[in-house]
Structure 1
Amino acid sequence: MSINSIIRKAIESDSEKIWFLMEQLAIFENYIDSFEITPEIVKESGFRKSPPDFYCWVAEDEGKIAGILVYYFLPYTAENRPSIYMKELYVDENYRGQKIGEQLMDALKAEAKRNNCSQIKWTVAPWNNAGQRFYHRLGAKENKDWLNYEWNV
């Protein structure tokens, strides 16, 4: 299947479709049992708050959202420039292998440059070999200098 996807900033009316792909990602990454996001939370947090809790790029194909890239800004860094933290990149399984992920990442890179960001950061599950290969192919480097920690409250 070949598509002509349009990469664009998400708008409020995309909330339900964004939520659906967020839910699919939660299933894929095995955290669906703790997934508490709803379409209304997506709408409120991403489009009605100022500033929003997150930003989102979408890949649209004939009215369908084929992929999402969710991110937010880290305003204060050692470089005295912001960074972007990519929280979610997910392409619907029916649209994989068509460079949609790469197009979304290119949009994020352009967004980082527009906002004078020093870098884009993200994490990848250690079992997600396809994701790791994808990011290496784009030229991203694994950061082995830091360990990730979590503190549930």
Structure 2
Amino acid sequence: MNVTIRKAEEKDSENIWNLMKELAVFEKYSKNFAITPEIVKVSGFQKNPPDFYCFVAECNEQITGILVYYFLPYTIQNRPAIYMKELYVDENYRGHKIGEQLMNALKIEAEQNNCNQIKWTVAPWNKAGQKFYERLGATENNEWLNYEWNV
């Protein structure tokens, strides 16, 4: 299977949105999913700076995976970090190392931007996701708890 990993372009907005919607179903928050293709287009490609960046995996001219991220400009090490918000591969294309290729593209992006870390969260029930990240060499951070404050 020939897969191309590239930075997303505005023309990809609807395809990115479709995979975001699939992820919302997978992660069981589809009832709260308020993103539209137009929001993806404006937030990711028409704002300067954009609210997010995205890599896409393309196979036979079809987008089969996404990795959405943004930069955390200020850290204790006085170097930026990257926060990976979403990684999703269409279930019909899993098992072909597409997720790994997207993660490797993110690692290169981090290195090119002098980032010292890539951060993300994984649902506690997503054991397959946890195994995937550990296989890549990631470690769980048990030092901090996630909090939310809804406003």
Query: Which residue of structure 1 aligns with residue 117 of structure 2?
Result: 119
The CA distance in 2 between the partners of 1:148 and 1:97, in whole Å, is: 30
> SS of the residue aligned with 2:2?
coil
Q: Which SS does the other structure have where 1:141 is aligned? A: coil
TM-score, normalising length: structure 1: 0.98
- Counterpart of 1:130? 128
- Paired residues in the alignment total 151
2:105 to 104, 107, 115: 107
Which aligned runs of 4 or more in structure 1 are off by greater than 2 angstroms? none
State the match for 1:79 in structure 2.
77
Of 139, 146, 149 in structure 2, the residue corresponding to residue 148 of structure 1 is 146
Letter in 2 for 1:75: P
Deviation at 1:94, TM superposition (A): 0.4
- Secondary structure of the 2:103 match is helix
User: Alignment partner of 2:123: what SS?
Assistant: coil
CA distance in 1, matches of 2:21, 2:3: 21
Distance 1:62 1:38 in 2: 25
State the identity %: 74
Alpha-carbon RMSD: 0.3
Q: Distance in 1 between matches of 2:78 and 2:116?
A: 9
Partner of 1:89: 87
For 1:23, the equivalent position in structure 2 comes to 21
Q: CA deviation at 1:63?
A: 1.2
Provide the residue aligned with 2:96 in structure 1. 98
List runs of 5+ in structure 1 lacking aligned partners: none
Q: Distance between the aligned counterparts of 2:73 and 2:100, measured in 1?
A: 25
- Give the distance between the partners of 1:98 and 1:6, measured in 2 at CA: 12
